[in-house]
Amino acid sequence: MIASRRRPAFHQARSAADAEALGAVPRWSLADLYAGMESAAFARDLDAAGRDAEGFAADYRGRLAERAAAEDAGAGLARAIARYEALDEALGRAASYAQLLYAEDTSDPARAKFMADAQDRVTAVSSNLIFFTLEMNALPDATLDRLAAEGPLARYRPWLDDMRKERPHQLDTKLEQLFHEKAVTGRAAWTRLFDETITALRFDVDGEALALEPTLNLLQDPDERRRERAAAALGETLAAHRRTFALITNTLAKDLEIANRWRGFEDVADSRHLANRVERDVVDALVQAVQAAHPRLSHRYYRMKARWFGREQLNHWDRNAPLPFAPPATVPWAAARDTVLDAYRGFSPRLADIARRFFDEGWIDAEIRPGKAPGAFSHPTVPAVHPYVLMNYQGRPRDVMVLAHELGHGVHQTLAAPQGALMAQTPLTLAETASVFGEMLTFRAMVARAETPEARFALLAAKVEDMLNTVVRQVAFYSFERRLHEERRSGELTAERIGELWMSVQADSLGPAIRLGPGYETYWSYVPHFVHSPFYVYAYAFGDCLVNSLYGVFRAAPDGFAERYLALLAAGGSQHHSELLKPFGLDAQDPGFWSIGLGVIEGLIDELERLPAP
């Protein structure tokens, strides 16, 4: 049974008090995309895209080999790619609007229908474009290399190179079209079921019917009994829906296994590595380095935290609890904005100027309301518009870091936009660079401004916990996904078995100082990345370790660093990570690279251990 969206009076009164403390928290305007669901421009743009896609197919389908042999082949193919890119942007604009409108209130049937209908239209139109990359990849390497060496086609050389990497795993046109169109009733439908199910859940905490986001927030409440009851509510409600979540997970894992088998991917995560433009051995080296560091990082830190609480072990609901001596703090929205912008400005005025536009021009939705998508993200939309940031701001110091993180994404996406729709998108391995770097800048600024030893100690501890959540926890998530997908090859997994895999990797990563009690075995079911983007999670660890190394370069030699850093962000997806890191003297394929990043976390733990606990 789905609980009512109506909130008890106590919760409403408490929220009013919280709202007064936070000040005015913004809600975005999507008008830069479209005016509303009934927008004539939205319908007109999709109709025009449909006609243009049909015309594009009529002009080029089955004729690219002939065009590549023409006298002006380079210029002709460049014009064809430009038309393809324009269509990609038009469809991306419509799809982005539908997705963002739905994220505003995933419980609204009208918005859900609008998104589903828009998705159907976009899929139908884009079906006429599938032939293009397949036929481009059928052209001989020598031909494309010659034509893209100079002239108009040279601009698209990075996109062509990336496209060639997909060639070994492409199917014939009819099969690709079938996979594309079936996604609407396959992966996309199951993902929507997950989103709507998780949004509709209500967790009973002391008689209050809370949505997921505020319930998770209570795991950081100063009151231990409140944390325990929130944890129990999470476990109880998620367990009541475990069959649904297990069905979604099994179905999507099987869907990926079928796609991987048809496309010839050997490993369960190889398709993600290809999409990320990162080699499997690089990811394996990251995972091995993190797992080897568990005793020095997570196991050690949580032993320290247990001692600060006067215990041998912490219950799982105390893992992210504020320290018992941490000063309580509610950060108003205006203060969070100023803190992040000041930190960005101290590094680069240009970075701060771009970030300020998100506040000044209504590109952020930070208020908490029923039905709103949980979590946080920065959606790049399309290069012709701008990104939009969604978060659920509750006034914690950690929320300030989330704001810095998502604005980092937004700045990155803004800087990369001139690369165009085909090359602006950054592979996930580098997509977390600006976001984590923004967090680091903000953290350092907050530590420098801390007014008491207790506040500084609490900030250092919170940063260590964020890093552990970003590196150790996300690699554990990746290990969990690997085990789940590998085992799914042999048959469907029960919810109980999925819980067993979850508990195993969590125990290994968190260590003996964290007691994983009853109910925790269900917590895998609310993690959206497992549903939306399988194996995405290692990108967080990749980005955190990369940024730790970059920040070390910056601290050692700040002159000229900001310019090189902004150039890295502006490259978008036009260069491989190895090329982008060369100006900084870094190489992710070097076995010692990951030790640098992990050493930064270990150094912060050393610093905490040296400081007297308040």
What's the longest Cα–Cα distance across the chain?
A: 79
Residues 6+ apart with CB under 8 A from 603: none
Q: For the chain, give the percent of residues with pLDDT over 70.
A: 97
Give domain status of residue 21, yes or no. no
Give domain status of residue 195, yes or no. no
How many independent structural domains does the chain possess?
3
Residue type, 450: A
User: Residue 427 to residues 165, 256, 387, 390, 431: CA-CA distances in angstroms?
Assistant: 14, 20, 17, 21, 6
User: Residue 225 to residues 232, 327, 519: CA-CA distances in angstroms?
Assistant: 11, 19, 16
Tell me the pLDDT tens digit for each residue of 51-106.
999 999 999 999 999 989 988 999 999 999 999 999 999 999 999 999 999 999 99
Same domain, 309 and 340: no
Query: Given this model, what pLDDT does residue 6 score?
Result: 28
Residue carrying the six token digits 């930070």 = 366
SS3 of residue 178 by DSSP: helix
Same domain, 524 and 509: yes
Whole-number Å distance between alpha carbons of 604 and 277 = 31
Which residue, 152, 151, 147, is CA-closest to 85?
A: 152
Same domain, 176 and 274: no
Say if CB 522 and CB 501 are below 8 A apart: no
Give domain status of residue 491, yes or no. yes
Same domain, 212 and 306: yes
Same domain, 305 and 389: no
Same domain, 475 and 463: no
Which CATH number goes with the domain that contains 137?
Answer: 1.20.140.70
Same domain, 392 and 513: no
Average pLDDT, stretch 168-194? 91
Give domain status of residue 527, yes or no. yes
Residue type, 465: E
Same domain, 284 and 399: no
Same domain, 549 and 444: yes
**Of 499, 532, 565, which residue constitutes the final position of a domain?**
532
Same domain, 224 and 207: yes
Find the range with the poorest average confidence among 8-22, 230-244, 327-341, 485-499: 8-22
Which residue, 147, 122, 133, is CA-closest to 46?
A: 122
Give domain status of residue 11, yes or no. no
Give domain status of residue 458, yes or no. yes
Give domain status of residue 193, yes or no. no
Give domain status of residue 528, yes or no. yes
**pTM for this prediction:** 0.84
**Of 488, 507, 532, which residue constitutes the final position of a domain?**
532
Tell me the pLDDT tens digit for each residue of 543-575.
888 888 898 889 889 999 999 999 999 999 998
Whole-number Å distance between alpha carbons of 11 and 217 = 14
Whole-number Å distance between alpha carbons of 423 and 571 = 8
Same domain, 265 and 211: yes
Same domain, 44 and 132: yes
Residue carrying the six token digits 């421009």 = 41
The end-to-end CA distance of the chain, in Å, is 47
Confidence of residue 516 (pLDDT cuts 50, 70, 90): very high
Which CATH number goes with the domain that contains 309?
Answer: 1.10.1370.20
Q: What residue numbers bound the domain in which 449 lies? A: 333-468+545-602
**Of 156, 185, 214, which residue constitutes the final position of a domain?**
185
Average pLDDT, stretch 467-482? 96
Tell me the pLDDT tens digit for each residue of 426-452.
887 788 899 999 999 999 999 998 888
Confidence of residue 17 (pLDDT cuts 50, 70, 90): low
208's tokens: 């209050």
